[in-house]
Amino acid sequence: MAIVLVVDDEMGIRELLSEILADEGHTVRLAENARAAREWRARERPDLVLLDIWMPDTDGISLLKEWAAGGQLTMPVLMMSGHASIETAVEATRIGAMDFLEKPIALQRLLGAVKRALTAPERRSNSPLPVVELGRSLLLADLRRRLNQLASLKAWVCLRGEEGLLPELHARALVPQGMPFVNLTAALAELTDESLRRAQGGAVFIDDLTALSRAQWRGVAFACSRADRVNVRVISFSREDPARLDSGGLDAASLKRLTELIVPLPALREHAEDIPELAVAMLGRLVESSAVQPRRFDTAALNTLRQYDYPRNLEQLEQVIRSAAMASTAEEISAAAVAAILDQMHDAAPRTIVDFEQPLREARDQFERAYFEHWLRREQGSIARVSERSGIERTHLYRKLRQLGIHAGRREDEPGE
C-alpha cells in the first residue's frame, strides 16, 4: 500500500489518523510540525501527505508553497483545518493541494479523499514550475496580485514581455487549479474543434503572437470564432506591442478582444533579488526528476547567479542551472562553477566584428550582413518583423538581403502569400 505522511501539531489527531490509515493497510509516518515534515520530505518521497494548516512554527500553506517552489510537491497533498476560511482553502488548491478536509474529519470523507488522491492519474512530478509563486520582490508580488485577480475572470488576456520569460508558466497562474489548460501553439496551423473542446471550461494559450505564420494566424482566427461556443478562455503572449502586430488577416474585432487586456511581464533583471529563490526551485525540480544527481548551490554561487544580466531571462537562467548541475562533480555547486558556465555563455554570444582596415563599402556590407542576420535569428526568419525592426520596406529588404547573400526567410511572410 501507500506511504502516508501525517503532519499535525496535535498528538491526538496524529495518532487517530495513524490508526485509521494503518487499518487500511498504509504505512504511516508522523511529523509534529513543519520542521519535522521538511526534514522527512528531504529524506524520502511519500505517496500522500495529510497537512494541517495551523501549526506553531510554520503554517501548512507556507510549507506547501515551499515544497512547490523547491520542486518537492511531487505527491498529492490533502490540507486539514478546523477553522480555515474559504479563501484559505482556495489558495491551498491553487498552490497545488488536491483537497481540503475540515476537522473533525468524518471517516468516510477521509477514506474517500485518500483513495481519490492515491488513484489520481495526474501526479505533481509533472506539474509546471510555479514561477509566479516564487520570489519576494515588490515587482513580483504586484504581478502575483494582478494574475490572482484575473484568474477569477473570463476576460481574455495578452501577456507582454521579452523573449525567454517562459510565458506559459505565467499563463497557467490565470487558470484555477484543476481546470483544463491547453497550449495550442504547435497545433494552430491545423486547429480543430476537438483541440478546443479539450480545454472546455478552462483556457487555451497561444505563444508568441509576434512569431506566428499566416497559417497559424488562421488558426488563431478559428479559435477566436469558436472560443465562447465551447466555453474556453484565450490567453496569449506577445514580445511586441500588440497594436503593431502583423495579424495575418485576423479581423479587427477578434484582434481587439485578443489583446484588449494586456499584462506586462517583468524582465528577470528587473527583479534580480528573486534569482536565488528561482534558482533553488529550478535545481530542486531537476534533482527531483532525476535529471541530475543531488546538488545544491552554496551561498556564493547564488550571489553569482544573481549578478548576471540574463538577456534571455528565465529560459537562460534555467539553462545555466542545468549546465552547472550536470557539470558539477561535487554535491555543492560553487561560485567558480557557476562563473565558468556564465563565461562560456558570454563567449558563445554572437559578436559583430567589422574589419576597419577594409574599404568603407566592404565594411558597411559586413556590418549590414551581421545586423540582418541578428534580426533574422531574433525574429525566427520573419521578413515582416525584420522589416518593422529595421524600418526598411519589405520589397527593398528582400533586395538588400539578396545583395548580401542572406537567405530571405519564411515563405509565409512573402508578399502575396
Chain segment 245-303, per-residue pLDDT in tens: 777 778 888 889 998 899 999 999 999 999 999 999 899 888 877 667 889 999 999 99
Mean pLDDT of 372-379: 74
Any idea what the Cα angle at residue 146 is, between residues 140 and 152, rounded to 5°? 135
Question: Whose CA is closest to 37, among 54, 15, 60, 19?
Answer: 60
Residue 123 confidence class, pLDDT cut points 50, 70, 90? very low
Residue 121 confidence class, pLDDT cut points 50, 70, 90? low
Mean pLDDT of 79-89: 77
Encode pLDDT of 38-55 as tens digits: 888 877 888 899 999 999
Mean pLDDT of 317-340: 89
* Confidence (pLDDT) at 412: 44
Question: 367 near 404, Cβ under 8 Å?
Answer: no
* Confidence (pLDDT) at 417: 41
Q: Which residues of 164-197 are buried (b: 16+ CB within 10 A; e: fewer)?
A: bbbbbebbbbbbebeeebbbbbebbeebeeebbb
Burial level of 36, CB count in 10 A (0-12/13-18/19+)? middle
Q: Which of 11-15, 75-79, 308-312, 347-351 comes out lowest in average pLDDT?
A: 347-351
* Confidence (pLDDT) at 381: 72
Residue 378 confidence class, pLDDT cut points 50, 70, 90? low
Q: Which domains does the chain have, with CATH numbers?
A: 3-126 (3.40.50.2300), 136-264 (3.40.50.300), 271-348 (1.10.8.60), 360-413 (1.10.10.60)
Mean pLDDT of 49-63: 91
- Is 56 a residue whose pLDDT tops 90? no
The beta strand positions in 53-202, using DSSP E, are 77-81, 99-102, 157-160, 181-183
Question: Mean pLDDT: which of 215-219, 344-348, 360-364 is highest?
Answer: 215-219
The residue that leads in pLDDT, 51 or 401, is 51
The residue that leads in pLDDT, 375 or 308, is 308
Mean pLDDT of 11-15: 94
Residue 130 confidence class, pLDDT cut points 50, 70, 90? confident
* Confidence (pLDDT) at 93: 73
Residue 353 confidence class, pLDDT cut points 50, 70, 90? low
Residue 190 confidence class, pLDDT cut points 50, 70, 90? confident
Residue 411 confidence class, pLDDT cut points 50, 70, 90? very low
Please give the backbone phi and psi of residue 264, each rounded to the nearest 5 degrees, phi first: -75, 140
Q: For every residue of 121-159, which 3-state class applies, written as one string?
A: CCCHHHCCCCHHHCCCCHHHHHHHHHHHHHHCCCCCEEE
Question: Mean pLDDT: which of 79-93, 181-195, 344-358 is highest?
Answer: 181-195
Q: Which of 87-91, 207-211, 285-289 comes out lowest in average pLDDT?
A: 87-91
- Is 163 a residue whose pLDDT tops 50? yes
Residue 354 confidence class, pLDDT cut points 50, 70, 90? low
Mean pLDDT of 128-149: 86
- Is 30 a residue whose pLDDT tops 70? yes
Q: Which helix (H) or strand (E) holds 49?
A: strand 48-52
Average pLDDT of the chain is 84
* Confidence (pLDDT) at 78: 94
